Amino acid sequence: MNSQILYEDNHIIIINKKVGQLVQGDKTGDQSLLELLK
């Protein structure tokens, strides 16, 4: 993953993601940030 994790605990994660990186999946099937974090 090319995104930078700024903060993480048991309840939240704050990420400095790249421009254009999907946060949630869509019809294209491209890998989303949520899938990368699992």
Interval 1-38: pLDDT, tens: 567 889 999 999 898 888 888 888 888 888 888 787 77
Rg of the chain taking only CA atoms, in angstroms: 11
Please give the tally of structural domains in the chain: 1
Q: Model-level pTM?
A: 0.58
Which pLDDT value is given to residue 11? 94
* Predicted local confidence at residue 6, as pLDDT: 93
Burial (CB count <10 Å: 0-12, 13-18, 19+), residue 32 = middle
What phi and psi, each to the nearest 5 degrees, are found at residue 9? Answer: -145, -165
Structural domain range at position 31: 4-37
| pLDDT of res. 37 | 76
- Identify the pLDDT of residue 1: 58
